[in-house]
Structure 1
Protein backbone atom coordinates (compact mmCIF):
# COMPACT_ATOMS: atom_id res chain seq x y z
CA UNK A 1 0.00 0.00 0.00
CA UNK A 2 1.39 3.41 -0.98
CA UNK A 3 1.87 5.89 1.83
CA UNK A 4 0.38 9.26 0.94
CA UNK A 5 2.17 12.41 1.97
CA UNK A 6 0.62 14.94 4.36
CA UNK A 7 3.16 17.51 3.16
CA UNK A 8 1.57 20.34 1.12
CA UNK A 9 4.00 19.71 -1.76
CA UNK A 10 2.80 17.21 -4.35
CA UNK A 11 5.74 17.27 -6.77
CA UNK A 12 9.45 18.04 -6.89
CA UNK A 13 11.11 19.31 -10.08
CA UNK A 14 14.79 18.37 -9.96
CA UNK A 15 17.74 19.67 -11.94
CA UNK A 16 20.51 17.13 -12.55
CA UNK A 17 23.99 18.63 -13.05
CA UNK A 18 25.13 20.53 -9.98
CA UNK A 19 22.02 19.45 -8.07
CA UNK A 20 21.14 15.75 -8.03
CA UNK A 21 24.39 14.50 -9.55
CA UNK A 22 27.77 14.39 -7.83
CA UNK A 23 31.15 15.35 -9.30
CA UNK A 24 31.24 12.07 -11.21
CA UNK A 25 27.88 12.94 -12.87
CA UNK A 26 26.07 10.08 -11.16
CA UNK A 27 23.34 9.97 -8.53
CA UNK A 28 24.86 9.17 -5.15
CA UNK A 29 23.34 6.60 -2.80
CA UNK A 30 21.75 9.11 -0.42
CA UNK A 31 20.16 11.13 -3.22
CA UNK A 32 18.88 7.97 -4.92
CA UNK A 33 17.38 6.75 -1.65
CA UNK A 34 15.74 10.14 -1.13
CA UNK A 35 14.02 9.92 -4.52
CA UNK A 36 12.68 6.46 -3.76
CA UNK A 37 11.33 7.67 -0.41
CA UNK A 38 9.59 10.61 -2.09
CA UNK A 39 7.95 8.27 -4.61
CA UNK A 40 6.85 5.96 -1.78
CA UNK A 41 5.13 8.94 -0.14
CA UNK A 42 3.17 9.66 -3.32
CA UNK A 43 5.24 12.67 -4.41
CA UNK A 44 5.72 13.18 -8.15
CA UNK A 45 9.43 13.28 -9.02
CA UNK A 46 10.11 15.17 -12.25
CA UNK A 47 13.67 15.41 -13.54
CA UNK A 48 14.21 18.76 -15.26
CA UNK A 49 17.49 19.13 -17.10
CA UNK A 50 19.36 20.60 -20.03
CA UNK A 51 20.42 17.09 -21.00
CA UNK A 52 18.70 15.07 -23.77
CA UNK A 53 16.39 12.22 -22.82
CA UNK A 54 19.00 9.60 -23.80
CA UNK A 55 21.32 10.89 -21.11
CA UNK A 56 18.60 11.08 -18.45
CA UNK A 57 17.61 7.49 -19.15
CA UNK A 58 21.20 6.37 -18.78
CA UNK A 59 21.74 8.22 -15.49
CA UNK A 60 18.34 8.04 -13.79
CA UNK A 61 16.37 5.31 -15.55
CA UNK A 62 17.11 2.70 -12.90
CA UNK A 63 16.11 5.05 -10.06
CA UNK A 64 12.73 6.36 -11.19
CA UNK A 65 10.92 6.25 -14.53
CA UNK A 66 7.17 6.66 -14.01
CA UNK A 67 6.75 10.46 -14.01
CA UNK A 68 7.25 13.11 -16.73
CA UNK A 69 10.77 14.21 -17.64
CA UNK A 70 11.68 17.73 -18.81
CA UNK A 71 14.71 17.81 -21.11
CA UNK A 72 16.73 20.28 -23.16
CA UNK A 73 16.05 23.01 -20.57
CA UNK A 74 12.32 22.85 -21.17
CA UNK A 75 12.18 22.34 -24.93
CA UNK A 76 10.81 18.81 -24.50
CA UNK A 77 8.57 17.04 -22.02
CA UNK A 78 8.29 13.25 -22.05
CA UNK A 79 5.26 11.53 -20.50
CA UNK A 80 7.56 9.16 -18.62
CA UNK A 81 11.24 8.26 -18.68
CA UNK A 82 10.76 5.80 -21.54
CA UNK A 83 7.47 7.20 -22.82
CA UNK A 84 6.60 9.28 -25.85
CA UNK A 85 6.99 13.07 -26.03
CA UNK A 86 4.28 15.02 -24.23
CA UNK A 87 5.25 18.39 -25.69
CA UNK A 88 8.01 19.76 -27.90
CA UNK A 89 8.81 23.40 -28.68
CA UNK A 90 11.05 24.06 -31.65
CA UNK A 91 12.86 27.21 -32.72
CA UNK A 92 11.39 28.75 -35.90
CA UNK A 93 13.38 27.73 -38.97
CA UNK A 94 14.03 31.32 -40.07
CA UNK A 95 15.32 32.22 -36.61
CA UNK A 96 17.76 29.31 -36.66
CA UNK A 97 18.97 30.24 -40.13
CA UNK A 98 19.42 33.91 -39.20
CA UNK A 99 21.30 33.05 -36.00
CA UNK A 100 23.67 30.78 -37.94
CA UNK A 101 24.32 33.46 -40.54
CA UNK A 102 25.01 36.01 -37.81
CA UNK A 103 27.42 33.64 -36.04
CA UNK A 104 29.30 33.15 -39.29
CA UNK A 105 29.61 36.91 -39.76
CA UNK A 106 30.58 37.60 -36.13
CA UNK A 107 33.41 35.07 -36.04
CA UNK A 108 34.98 33.71 -32.86
CA UNK A 109 32.64 30.70 -32.71
CA UNK A 110 34.40 27.42 -31.90
CA UNK A 111 31.42 25.17 -32.53
CA UNK A 112 27.63 25.08 -32.81
CA UNK A 113 25.40 22.20 -31.79
CA UNK A 114 21.77 21.69 -32.86
CA UNK A 115 19.42 18.93 -31.82
CA UNK A 116 16.01 17.64 -32.80
CA UNK A 117 13.99 14.58 -31.82
CA UNK A 118 16.15 12.33 -34.01
CA UNK A 119 19.61 13.27 -32.78
CA UNK A 120 22.11 16.09 -32.93
CA UNK A 121 24.28 17.99 -35.37
CA UNK A 122 27.52 19.93 -35.00
CA UNK A 123 29.36 22.49 -37.07
CA UNK A 124 32.67 20.71 -36.39
CA UNK A 125 33.81 17.35 -35.05
CA UNK A 126 36.15 18.71 -32.36
CA UNK A 127 36.78 18.35 -28.63
CA UNK A 128 33.94 20.68 -27.65
CA UNK A 129 31.35 18.23 -28.97
CA UNK A 130 32.57 15.20 -27.01
CA UNK A 131 30.40 15.87 -23.95
CA UNK A 132 27.32 15.71 -26.18
CA UNK A 133 28.52 12.47 -27.74
CA UNK A 134 28.49 11.05 -24.22
CA UNK A 135 24.98 12.39 -23.61
CA UNK A 136 23.40 11.23 -26.88
CA UNK A 137 25.48 8.02 -27.10
CA UNK A 138 26.08 8.66 -30.79
CA UNK A 139 28.25 10.82 -33.05
CA UNK A 140 26.78 14.03 -34.49
CA UNK A 141 25.98 14.71 -38.10
CA UNK A 142 28.10 17.59 -39.40
CA UNK A 143 26.44 20.61 -41.00
CA UNK A 144 27.58 23.93 -42.49
CA UNK A 145 26.57 27.54 -41.90
CA UNK A 146 24.78 27.54 -45.24
CA UNK A 147 22.52 24.59 -44.52
CA UNK A 148 20.16 24.30 -41.55
CA UNK A 149 20.13 20.52 -41.02
CA UNK A 150 16.65 20.25 -39.50
CA UNK A 151 13.32 22.05 -39.71
CA UNK A 152 12.51 21.10 -36.10
CA UNK A 153 15.46 22.35 -34.02
CA UNK A 154 14.72 22.06 -30.31
CA UNK A 155 17.94 23.55 -28.98
CA UNK A 156 20.87 25.49 -30.39
CA UNK A 157 24.17 25.68 -28.48
CA UNK A 158 27.06 27.99 -29.34
CA UNK A 159 30.59 27.44 -28.02
CA UNK A 160 33.17 30.22 -27.83
CA UNK A 161 36.22 30.33 -25.59
CA UNK A 162 37.32 33.86 -26.44
CA UNK A 163 34.22 35.86 -27.36
CA UNK A 164 31.29 34.18 -25.61
CA UNK A 165 30.00 37.28 -23.82
CA UNK A 166 30.26 39.45 -26.95
CA UNK A 167 28.56 36.81 -29.10
CA UNK A 168 25.78 36.40 -26.54
CA UNK A 169 25.22 40.16 -26.35
CA UNK A 170 25.12 40.55 -30.14
CA UNK A 171 22.76 37.62 -30.67
CA UNK A 172 20.48 38.55 -27.78
CA UNK A 173 20.17 42.13 -28.98
CA UNK A 174 19.26 40.95 -32.47
CA UNK A 175 17.13 37.87 -31.73
CA UNK A 176 16.01 38.30 -28.12
CA UNK A 177 12.41 38.80 -29.26
CA UNK A 178 12.50 35.59 -31.32
CA UNK A 179 14.23 33.05 -29.05
CA UNK A 180 15.07 32.35 -25.41
CA UNK A 181 18.75 32.81 -24.52
CA UNK A 182 20.65 31.46 -21.50
CA UNK A 183 24.17 32.59 -20.63
CA UNK A 184 26.11 30.45 -18.15
CA UNK A 185 28.94 31.99 -16.15
CA UNK A 186 31.02 28.81 -15.92
CA UNK A 187 29.65 26.66 -18.75
CA UNK A 188 31.26 27.60 -22.12
CA UNK A 189 28.08 27.24 -24.20
CA UNK A 190 25.32 29.75 -24.98
CA UNK A 191 21.95 27.98 -24.96
CA UNK A 192 19.14 29.06 -27.32
CA UNK A 193 15.62 27.64 -27.43
CA UNK A 194 12.08 28.55 -28.44
CA UNK A 195 11.11 31.99 -27.10
CA UNK A 196 8.41 30.43 -24.88
CA UNK A 197 10.57 27.50 -23.79
CA UNK A 198 12.26 27.22 -20.40
CA UNK A 199 12.09 24.94 -17.38
CA UNK A 200 9.56 27.20 -15.66
CA UNK A 201 7.11 27.07 -18.57
CA UNK A 202 7.45 23.29 -18.82
CA UNK A 203 6.97 22.92 -15.07
CA UNK A 204 3.73 24.90 -15.38
CA UNK A 205 2.58 22.65 -18.24
CA UNK A 206 3.21 19.50 -16.18
CA UNK A 207 1.38 21.00 -13.20
CA UNK A 208 -1.63 21.81 -15.37
CA UNK A 209 -1.64 18.25 -16.73
CA UNK A 210 -1.75 16.83 -13.18
CA UNK A 211 -4.03 19.46 -11.68
CA UNK A 212 -1.34 20.87 -9.36
CA UNK A 213 -1.06 24.50 -8.37
CA UNK A 214 2.41 26.03 -8.60
CA UNK A 215 2.40 26.67 -4.86
CA UNK A 216 2.07 22.90 -4.38
CA UNK A 217 5.42 22.08 -5.99
CA UNK A 218 9.11 22.39 -5.18
CA UNK A 219 11.83 23.21 -7.71
CA UNK A 220 15.51 22.73 -6.95
CA UNK A 221 18.51 23.63 -9.09
CA UNK A 222 21.75 25.56 -9.42
CA UNK A 223 22.17 27.10 -12.87
CA UNK A 224 20.94 29.95 -15.05
CA UNK A 225 18.52 27.63 -16.86
CA UNK A 226 16.85 26.88 -13.49
CA UNK A 227 15.95 30.51 -12.75
CA UNK A 228 12.39 30.52 -14.10
CA UNK A 229 11.59 27.15 -12.54
CA UNK A 230 12.85 28.11 -9.08
CA UNK A 231 11.17 31.52 -9.19
CA UNK A 232 7.78 30.07 -10.20
CA UNK A 233 7.59 27.15 -7.74
CA UNK A 234 5.81 27.34 -4.42
CA UNK A 235 9.15 26.53 -2.82
CA UNK A 236 12.23 27.35 -4.86
CA UNK A 237 15.50 25.89 -3.62
CA UNK A 238 18.98 26.84 -4.83
CA UNK A 239 21.95 24.60 -4.19
CA UNK A 240 24.85 25.91 -2.13
CA UNK A 241 26.95 25.82 -5.30
CA UNK A 242 24.35 27.78 -7.30
CA UNK A 243 25.01 31.05 -9.11
CA UNK A 244 24.23 34.09 -6.96
CA UNK A 245 21.44 35.14 -9.33
CA UNK A 246 19.78 31.76 -8.73
CA UNK A 247 20.10 32.08 -4.96
CA UNK A 248 18.55 35.55 -5.22
CA UNK A 249 15.23 34.16 -6.54
CA UNK A 250 15.16 31.08 -4.28
CA UNK A 251 13.21 30.73 -1.04
CA UNK A 252 16.00 28.78 0.61
CA UNK A 253 19.49 27.45 -0.06
CA UNK A 254 20.47 23.79 0.28
CA UNK A 255 23.99 22.52 1.03
CA UNK A 256 26.47 22.02 -1.83
CA UNK A 257 25.71 19.24 -4.31
CA UNK A 258 28.92 17.45 -3.29
CA UNK A 259 27.50 17.25 0.26
CA UNK A 260 24.26 15.52 -0.84
CA UNK A 261 22.52 18.87 -0.47
CA UNK A 262 19.53 17.63 -2.46
CA UNK A 263 18.83 14.81 -0.02
CA UNK A 264 19.63 16.91 3.05
CA UNK A 265 17.02 19.56 2.28
CA UNK A 266 14.31 17.23 0.93
CA UNK A 267 14.66 14.83 3.87
CA UNK A 268 14.04 17.77 6.19
CA UNK A 269 11.06 19.14 4.26
CA UNK A 270 9.28 15.79 3.89
CA UNK A 271 10.43 14.20 7.15
CA UNK A 272 12.09 11.30 5.36
Structure 2
Protein backbone atom coordinates (compact mmCIF):
# COMPACT_ATOMS: atom_id res chain seq x y z
CA UNK A 1 0.00 0.00 0.00
CA UNK A 2 1.36 3.41 -1.00
CA UNK A 3 0.34 6.37 1.16
CA UNK A 4 -0.05 9.61 -0.82
CA UNK A 5 -1.98 11.73 1.71
CA UNK A 6 -1.43 12.00 5.47
CA UNK A 7 -3.89 13.87 7.72
CA UNK A 8 -2.97 14.56 11.34
CA UNK A 9 -4.94 15.86 14.26
CA UNK A 10 -3.22 18.64 16.21
CA UNK A 11 -3.79 18.46 19.96
CA UNK A 12 -2.52 15.30 21.65
CA UNK A 13 -1.45 13.96 18.25
CA UNK A 14 0.91 16.16 16.22
CA UNK A 15 1.56 18.37 19.26
CA UNK A 16 3.30 17.34 22.43
CA UNK A 17 1.75 18.22 25.76
CA UNK A 18 3.51 21.60 25.71
CA UNK A 19 1.89 22.37 22.30
CA UNK A 20 5.16 22.07 20.38
CA UNK A 21 6.13 19.75 17.51
CA UNK A 22 9.15 17.55 18.16
CA UNK A 23 12.17 17.74 15.81
CA UNK A 24 11.73 14.07 14.88
CA UNK A 25 8.13 14.67 13.81
CA UNK A 26 9.14 17.74 11.78
CA UNK A 27 11.87 15.72 10.05
CA UNK A 28 9.53 12.82 9.21
CA UNK A 29 6.97 15.21 7.72
CA UNK A 30 9.61 17.01 5.64
CA UNK A 31 10.91 13.69 4.28
CA UNK A 32 7.38 12.60 3.37
CA UNK A 33 6.76 15.90 1.58
CA UNK A 34 10.06 15.51 -0.28
CA UNK A 35 8.75 12.20 -1.63
CA UNK A 36 5.67 13.96 -3.01
CA UNK A 37 3.30 12.92 -0.24
CA UNK A 38 0.58 15.43 0.64
CA UNK A 39 0.57 16.20 4.38
CA UNK A 40 -2.20 18.17 6.07
CA UNK A 41 -3.74 19.00 9.42
CA UNK A 42 -7.28 18.01 10.44
CA UNK A 43 -8.27 19.72 13.67
CA UNK A 44 -11.17 21.07 15.65
CA UNK A 45 -9.24 24.30 16.12
CA UNK A 46 -10.04 27.50 14.26
CA UNK A 47 -7.89 28.52 11.28
CA UNK A 48 -5.98 31.29 13.08
CA UNK A 49 -4.94 28.81 15.77
CA UNK A 50 -3.91 26.20 13.18
CA UNK A 51 -1.95 28.41 10.78
CA UNK A 52 1.24 28.82 12.89
CA UNK A 53 1.76 25.05 12.91
CA UNK A 54 1.04 24.75 9.18
CA UNK A 55 3.59 27.50 8.53
CA UNK A 56 6.17 25.83 10.79
CA UNK A 57 5.81 22.64 8.75
CA UNK A 58 5.67 24.44 5.40
CA UNK A 59 2.25 23.00 4.57
CA UNK A 60 0.98 25.04 1.63
CA UNK A 61 -2.08 22.80 1.22
CA UNK A 62 -5.72 22.95 2.31
CA UNK A 63 -6.06 22.28 6.05
CA UNK A 64 -9.20 20.98 7.74
CA UNK A 65 -10.44 23.07 10.67
CA UNK A 66 -13.54 23.14 12.89
CA UNK A 67 -13.75 19.31 12.63
CA UNK A 68 -14.44 19.59 8.91
CA UNK A 69 -16.77 22.59 8.91
CA UNK A 70 -14.13 24.70 7.19
CA UNK A 71 -11.25 23.86 4.84
CA UNK A 72 -8.82 26.69 4.15
CA UNK A 73 -5.64 27.04 2.14
CA UNK A 74 -3.01 26.92 4.87
CA UNK A 75 -0.97 29.99 3.96
CA UNK A 76 -3.29 32.31 2.03
CA UNK A 77 -6.37 31.55 4.17
CA UNK A 78 -8.53 31.16 1.07
CA UNK A 79 -11.74 29.40 2.09
CA UNK A 80 -12.28 26.26 0.03
CA UNK A 81 -15.25 24.89 1.97
CA UNK A 82 -17.44 26.29 4.73
CA UNK A 83 -20.53 24.78 6.35
CA UNK A 84 -22.23 26.56 9.24
CA UNK A 85 -24.84 25.93 11.90
CA UNK A 86 -27.69 28.31 10.94
CA UNK A 87 -27.96 31.27 13.30
CA UNK A 88 -31.49 30.42 14.49
CA UNK A 89 -30.46 26.86 15.32
CA UNK A 90 -27.26 28.03 17.01
CA UNK A 91 -29.29 30.42 19.17
CA UNK A 92 -31.61 27.61 20.28
CA UNK A 93 -28.67 25.40 21.20
CA UNK A 94 -26.95 28.18 23.15
CA UNK A 95 -30.13 28.79 25.13
CA UNK A 96 -30.54 25.07 25.93
CA UNK A 97 -26.92 24.78 27.00
CA UNK A 98 -27.15 27.91 29.13
CA UNK A 99 -30.26 26.60 30.91
CA UNK A 100 -28.21 23.59 31.99
CA UNK A 101 -25.52 25.84 33.43
CA UNK A 102 -22.86 24.84 30.90
CA UNK A 103 -20.31 27.31 29.55
CA UNK A 104 -20.37 27.74 25.76
CA UNK A 105 -18.60 29.77 23.10
CA UNK A 106 -19.34 30.25 19.41
CA UNK A 107 -16.97 30.43 16.44
CA UNK A 108 -17.51 32.82 13.57
CA UNK A 109 -14.72 32.41 11.00
CA UNK A 110 -11.66 33.43 13.07
CA UNK A 111 -13.56 34.89 16.02
CA UNK A 112 -14.37 33.21 19.34
CA UNK A 113 -17.22 34.76 21.30
CA UNK A 114 -18.81 33.92 24.65
CA UNK A 115 -21.58 35.41 26.74
CA UNK A 116 -19.52 35.85 29.92
CA UNK A 117 -15.85 35.25 30.66
CA UNK A 118 -14.98 32.67 33.30
CA UNK A 119 -12.19 30.24 34.21
CA UNK A 120 -13.06 28.03 31.21
CA UNK A 121 -12.63 30.88 28.73
CA UNK A 122 -9.33 31.86 30.34
CA UNK A 123 -8.00 28.30 30.08
CA UNK A 124 -9.14 27.95 26.46
CA UNK A 125 -7.52 31.25 25.46
CA UNK A 126 -4.26 30.01 26.99
CA UNK A 127 -4.37 26.66 25.17
CA UNK A 128 -5.39 28.00 21.76
CA UNK A 129 -3.48 31.30 21.95
CA UNK A 130 -6.53 33.26 20.76
CA UNK A 131 -8.48 36.23 22.05
CA UNK A 132 -12.02 35.50 23.20
CA UNK A 133 -14.64 38.22 22.81
CA UNK A 134 -17.49 38.82 25.25
CA UNK A 135 -20.89 39.70 23.77
CA UNK A 136 -24.63 39.15 23.96
CA UNK A 137 -24.84 35.92 21.96
CA UNK A 138 -28.57 36.13 21.28
CA UNK A 139 -28.23 39.62 19.86
CA UNK A 140 -25.11 38.72 17.89
CA UNK A 141 -26.71 35.62 16.34
CA UNK A 142 -29.85 37.56 15.42
CA UNK A 143 -27.64 39.93 13.41
CA UNK A 144 -25.55 37.17 11.78
CA UNK A 145 -27.19 36.26 8.44
CA UNK A 146 -25.51 32.89 7.88
CA UNK A 147 -24.43 31.07 10.99
CA UNK A 148 -21.45 29.86 12.99
CA UNK A 149 -18.84 27.21 12.28
CA UNK A 150 -18.89 25.67 15.73
CA UNK A 151 -20.28 25.77 19.25
CA UNK A 152 -17.97 24.55 22.01
CA UNK A 153 -19.30 23.53 25.43
CA UNK A 154 -16.72 23.27 28.20
CA UNK A 155 -17.41 21.50 31.49
CA UNK A 156 -16.50 18.45 33.55
CA UNK A 157 -16.73 15.30 31.41
CA UNK A 158 -19.55 13.89 33.56
CA UNK A 159 -21.64 17.01 32.88
CA UNK A 160 -20.94 16.85 29.15
CA UNK A 161 -21.88 13.16 29.09
CA UNK A 162 -25.31 14.19 30.37
CA UNK A 163 -25.61 17.12 27.96
CA UNK A 164 -24.72 15.21 24.77
CA UNK A 165 -27.72 12.78 24.81
CA UNK A 166 -30.06 15.69 25.53
CA UNK A 167 -28.75 17.62 22.52
CA UNK A 168 -28.86 14.57 20.25
CA UNK A 169 -32.45 13.87 21.25
CA UNK A 170 -33.54 17.47 20.63
CA UNK A 171 -31.59 18.23 17.46
CA UNK A 172 -31.07 14.85 15.80
CA UNK A 173 -29.02 14.96 12.61
CA UNK A 174 -29.18 18.77 12.36
CA UNK A 175 -25.89 18.83 14.25
CA UNK A 176 -22.84 16.60 14.64
CA UNK A 177 -21.74 16.28 18.27
CA UNK A 178 -18.33 15.00 19.26
CA UNK A 179 -15.54 15.35 21.84
CA UNK A 180 -11.99 16.52 21.21
CA UNK A 181 -10.93 16.50 24.86
CA UNK A 182 -12.69 15.06 27.91
CA UNK A 183 -14.04 18.51 28.87
CA UNK A 184 -14.70 19.79 25.30
CA UNK A 185 -18.06 18.96 23.68
CA UNK A 186 -17.99 20.18 20.09
CA UNK A 187 -21.05 20.93 17.95
CA UNK A 188 -20.94 21.49 14.18
CA UNK A 189 -23.42 21.25 11.31
CA UNK A 190 -24.83 17.75 10.97
CA UNK A 191 -23.49 16.84 7.54
CA UNK A 192 -19.80 17.48 8.24
CA UNK A 193 -16.99 15.82 10.19
CA UNK A 194 -13.28 15.20 9.68
CA UNK A 195 -13.96 12.07 7.63
CA UNK A 196 -16.22 13.86 5.15
CA UNK A 197 -13.69 16.69 4.82
CA UNK A 198 -10.77 14.31 4.34
CA UNK A 199 -12.65 12.37 1.65
CA UNK A 200 -13.34 15.64 -0.20
CA UNK A 201 -9.68 16.64 0.07
CA UNK A 202 -8.48 13.27 -1.24
CA UNK A 203 -10.85 13.64 -4.17
CA UNK A 204 -9.52 17.15 -4.83
CA UNK A 205 -6.00 15.70 -5.05
CA UNK A 206 -7.06 12.67 -7.11
CA UNK A 207 -5.99 10.33 -4.31
CA UNK A 208 -7.73 7.02 -3.62
CA UNK A 209 -9.16 6.21 -0.20
CA UNK A 210 -6.68 3.35 0.33
CA UNK A 211 -3.83 5.82 -0.25
CA UNK A 212 -4.84 7.97 2.76
CA UNK A 213 -3.44 7.71 6.29
CA UNK A 214 -5.21 9.51 9.14
CA UNK A 215 -3.75 9.90 12.63
CA UNK A 216 -5.69 10.97 15.72
CA UNK A 217 -6.47 10.41 19.37
CA UNK A 218 -10.04 11.34 20.26
CA UNK A 219 -13.70 10.93 19.35
CA UNK A 220 -13.59 13.77 16.83
CA UNK A 221 -10.99 11.77 14.87
CA UNK A 222 -13.09 8.60 14.56
CA UNK A 223 -14.68 9.41 11.21
CA UNK A 224 -11.40 10.21 9.47
CA UNK A 225 -9.65 7.20 11.00
CA UNK A 226 -12.45 4.97 9.76
CA UNK A 227 -12.44 6.61 6.31
CA UNK A 228 -8.69 6.34 5.73
CA UNK A 229 -7.10 3.35 4.08
CA UNK A 230 -4.83 3.29 7.12
CA UNK A 231 -6.34 4.63 10.32
CA UNK A 232 -3.80 5.26 13.07
CA UNK A 233 -4.59 5.82 16.76
CA UNK A 234 -2.06 7.48 19.02
CA UNK A 235 -0.75 5.55 22.02
CA UNK A 236 -2.50 8.13 24.21
CA UNK A 237 -5.80 7.83 22.30
CA UNK A 238 -9.15 7.03 23.87
CA UNK A 239 -9.72 3.27 24.05
CA UNK A 240 -12.71 3.58 21.69
CA UNK A 241 -10.43 5.14 19.05
CA UNK A 242 -7.77 2.45 19.44
CA UNK A 243 -10.38 -0.26 18.93
CA UNK A 244 -11.50 1.18 15.58
CA UNK A 245 -8.05 2.06 14.23
CA UNK A 246 -6.02 -0.21 11.97
CA UNK A 247 -2.89 0.30 14.03
CA UNK A 248 -1.85 2.01 17.27
CA UNK A 249 1.37 4.02 17.34
CA UNK A 250 3.15 5.40 20.42
CA UNK A 251 2.06 8.53 22.30
CA UNK A 252 2.34 12.18 21.32
CA UNK A 253 5.16 12.52 23.85
CA UNK A 254 6.99 9.64 22.16
CA UNK A 255 6.72 10.99 18.58
CA UNK A 256 3.81 8.77 17.53
CA UNK A 257 3.19 10.75 14.33
CA UNK A 258 6.83 10.35 13.31
CA UNK A 259 6.76 6.63 14.01
CA UNK A 260 3.66 6.16 11.83
CA UNK A 261 5.10 8.20 8.96
CA UNK A 262 8.46 6.45 9.18
CA UNK A 263 6.86 3.00 9.10
CA UNK A 264 4.08 3.43 6.57
CA UNK A 265 5.20 6.31 4.36
CA UNK A 266 9.00 6.29 4.45
CA UNK A 267 9.20 2.49 4.93
CA UNK A 268 11.78 2.80 7.69
CA UNK A 269 11.84 -0.04 10.22
CA UNK A 270 11.40 1.53 13.65
Determine if the alignment matches structure 1 residue 139 to structure 2 residue 132: yes
Aligned to 2:172: 176
Which stretch of structure 1 is more off in the superposition, 30-39 or 88-97? 88-97
Determine if the alignment matches structure 1 residue 76 to structure 2 residue 70: yes
Determine if the alignment matches structure 1 residue 123 to structure 2 residue 119: no
Aligned to 1:98: 92
| Mapped contact 1:52–1:136 kept (Cα < 8 A) | no
Q: Deviations over 1:159-182 (max 9, x none)?
A: 233622221121111112210001
Aligned to 1:148: 141
For structure 1, the 5+ residue unaligned runs are: 1-6
| Mapped contact 2:98–2:104 kept (Cα < 8 A) | no
Determine if the alignment matches structure 1 residue 223 to structure 2 residue 218: yes
Give 3-state SS (helix, strand or coil) of 2:36's partner. coil
Q: In the TM superposition, what are the counterparts of 1:20-59 in structure 2 within 5 Å?
A: 20-59=14-53
| Mapped contact 2:54–2:60 kept (Cα < 8 A) | no
| Mapped contact 2:114–2:132 kept (Cα < 8 A) | no
How far 1:136 sits from its partner (Å)?
5.5
Q: Deviations over 1:179-199 (max 9, x none)?
A: 000135x52121000101110
Determine if the alignment matches structure 1 residue 212 to structure 2 residue 207: yes
Aligned to 2:11: 17
Q: Deviations over 1:21-42 (max 9, x none)?
A: 1111110110011111111010
**C-alpha RMSD over aligned residues:** 1.8
Aligned to 2:242: 247
Distance 2:132 2:93 in 1: 23
Aligned to 2:182: 187
For structure 2, the 5+ residue unaligned runs are: none
Q: Residue 108 of structure 1: which of 101, 109, 117 is its match?
A: 101
Higher normalized helix content (fraction of residues):
2
How far 1:129 sits from its partner (Å)?
1.2
Give 3-state SS (helix, strand or coil) of 2:18's partner. coil
